[in-house]
């Protein structure tokens, strides 16, 4: 049956074909699902680039409460403890689910799952595949199962907006394909559109990661939370590529160290050293670069020699850049990597707008807080997918939108404007921020947004949120406000994003 022939009373639309979208579509089976993807299945998604793995407390010396505690510690006071524990408890079962779907995780000599160590984890709990190709391996397994599931139909199209009825309930999507726009009604919509690293000049994300799902939800009136928290991966390979290739954090877990051009340790004297939380390491590298130093990830010797088998993805990326990691240190710098903020959702993935759910990086679930713990992103998407499916199954059926949509459509970006947006975000809404820079970004992004740039509109609400948070916490670091206030979430809507305000006070963790 064609996607256009399916009854909107039955159809669920899932937008995005990374781990969040694919897992949600599978969990919804046998309910009819239309999976909308901007690129052919298996391509154009950040999931395929995920190197590290999936954090899960499966080791003999580990337990979900220990995983949850590490998650809270990394989240800098904004991780919600009940969410962290619930997701950590789901981890082992989710790994089993993926194994059951045919995912080939790495094993040790006795056949048990091989477990890696990453920064801020107190135990070896990173389940990996093909060394550092976990994302690609998981993605390929999910794609195979989706393609074999009769209830899921795939539509390659771009998201332009959300359909809403007179009461504001989401009733479907507006899409674009082959230059033509069309409406696709549905009983429910799940946004699994990923992040917004493409708004930054230096990023490890696909260039198309511009926060379009976030903006579509905002235009529909959805509440957004903690938008200022953008995680910068400390060790993107500085080899002149855009997007920047990534040197997985697991390299430091296996003994690689950060040094400058003189061989001095970058993280010397810092608690946790090279395995400190990502925000700490990113700032350490950023500050070294600002002082004119060059930063390298040093894996020379036995680790570098083992990289083709233990870290084949990084080894190949280094080879493309003319670097032999066994003999040469790898030049690195921070790059926009993951958005902790997003569409505010509840424990079932429901947004504040009826008929709209969100899963994965585009959502703010309460798990990551101000700084995501390494390898918790794939886990979060997998953990919320079945909850979303169950919630949608309990929701009443809807009918087609009863009036034409009034939401503005998402337009194609002018390349010059996008380049300017990326430069503004990099300079003023990056690793270290201050009021003067943020105000400059807000002023220019406002102008570009008024001229019709959706990238500028998305960047603007992030910049305004960063300007409003007058403290330093996790991935949000204000050089003019280095101290911390009482932990708080900041919730806003597009209509009120000129003055985001704290709406929830949390006790100190």
CA–CA distance, 88 with 379 (Å, rounded to integer)? 8
Pairing verdict, β 126-127 and 158-164 = unpaired
HSE (CB half, 13 Å, CA atoms) of 92?
11
| C-alpha atoms less than 13 angstroms from C-alpha of 13 in its C-beta half-sphere | 34
Sign (positive or negative) of CA dihedral 274, 276, 282, 286: negative
Is there a catalytic annotation at residue 427?
no
CA distances from 413 to 206, 383, 420, 455, 456 (A): 15, 34, 11, 7, 10
Q: Which one from 136, 278, 310, 433 is the annotated catalytic residue?
A: 278
Q: How far out from the chain centre does Cα 222 lie?
A: 19
Question: Taking the alpha carbons of 409, 412, 413, 414 in that order, is the dihedral positive or negative?
Answer: negative
In this structure, the number of other CB atoms found within 10 A of the CB of residue 451 comes to 10
Beta bridge partners of 233: 335
Is the bond leading into 81 cis (omega within 30 degrees of zero)?
no
Give ∠ CA 7-10-14 in degrees, rounded to 5. 105
DSSP conformational letter for 473: B
φ and ψ of 149, to 5 deg: -100, 110
Exposed/middle/buried for 322, CB within 10 Å: 0-12, 13-18, 19+? exposed
**Catalytic annotation, residues:** 278
């Amino acid at each position: 049956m064609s996607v256009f022939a399916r009854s909107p009373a039955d159809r669920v639309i899932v937008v995005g074909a990374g781990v969040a979208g694919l897992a949600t579509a599978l969990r919804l089976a046998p309910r009819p699902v239309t999976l909308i993807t901007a690129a052919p299945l298996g391509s154009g998604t950040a999931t395929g680039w995920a190197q590290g793995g999936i954090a899960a407390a499966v080791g003999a010396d580990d337990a979900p409460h220990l995983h949850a505690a590490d998650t809270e510690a990394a989240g800098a006071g904004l991780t919600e403890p009940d969410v962290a524990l619930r997701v950590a408890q789901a981890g082992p079962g989710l790994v089993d689910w993926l194994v059951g779907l045919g995912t080939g995780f790495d094993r040790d000599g006795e056949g048990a799952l091989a477990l890696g160590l990453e920064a801020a984890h107190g135990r070896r709990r990173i389940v990996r595949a093909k060394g550092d190709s976990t994302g690609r391996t998981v993605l390929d397994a999910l794609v195979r199962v989706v393609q074999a599931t009769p209830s899921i139909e795939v539509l390659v199209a771009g998201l332009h907006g959300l359909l809403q009825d007179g009461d504001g309930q989401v009733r479907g999507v507006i899409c674009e394909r082959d230059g033509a726009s069309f409406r696709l009604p549905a009983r429910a919509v799940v946004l699994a559109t990923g992040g917004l690293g493409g708004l930054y000049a230096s990023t490890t994300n696909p260039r198309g990661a511009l926060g379009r799902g976030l903006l579509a939800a905002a235009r529909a009136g959805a509440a957004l939370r903690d938008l200022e928290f953008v995680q910068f991966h400390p060790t993107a390979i500085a080899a002149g590529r855009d997007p920047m290739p990534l040197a997985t954090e697991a390299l430091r877990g296996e003994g690689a160290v950060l040094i400058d051009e003189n061989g001095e340790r970058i993280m010397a004297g810092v608690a946790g050293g090279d395995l400190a939380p990502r925000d700490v390491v990113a700032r350490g590298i950023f500050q070294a670069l600002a002082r004119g130093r060059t930063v390298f990830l040093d894996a020379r010797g036995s680790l570098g020699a083992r990289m083709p088998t233990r870290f084949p993805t990084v080894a190949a990326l280094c080879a493309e850049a003319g670097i032999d990691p066994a003999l040469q240190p790898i030049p690195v710098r921070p790059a926009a990597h993951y958005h902790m903020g997003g569409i505010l959702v509840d424990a079932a993935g429901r947004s504040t707008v009826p008929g709209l759910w969100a899963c994965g990086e585009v959502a703010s679930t309460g798990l990551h807080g101000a700084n995501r713990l390494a390898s918790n992103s794939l886990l979060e998407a997998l953990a919320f997918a079945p909850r979303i499916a169950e919630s949608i199954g309990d929701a009443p059926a809807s009918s087609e939108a009863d009036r034409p949509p009034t939401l503005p459509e998402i337009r194609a970006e002018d390349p010059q404007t996008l380049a300017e947006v990326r430069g503004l975000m990099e300079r003023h809404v990056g690793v270290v921020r201050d009021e003067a820079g943020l105000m400059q970004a807000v002023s220019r992004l406002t102008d570009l947004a008024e001229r019709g740039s959706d990238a500028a509109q998305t960047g603007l609400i992030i910049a305004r949120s960063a300007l409003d948070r007058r403290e330093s916490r996790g991935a949000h670091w204000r050089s003019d406000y280095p101290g911390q206030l009482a932990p708080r979430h900041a919730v806003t809507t597009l209509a009120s994003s000129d003055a985001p305000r704290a709406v929830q006070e949390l006790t100190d963790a």
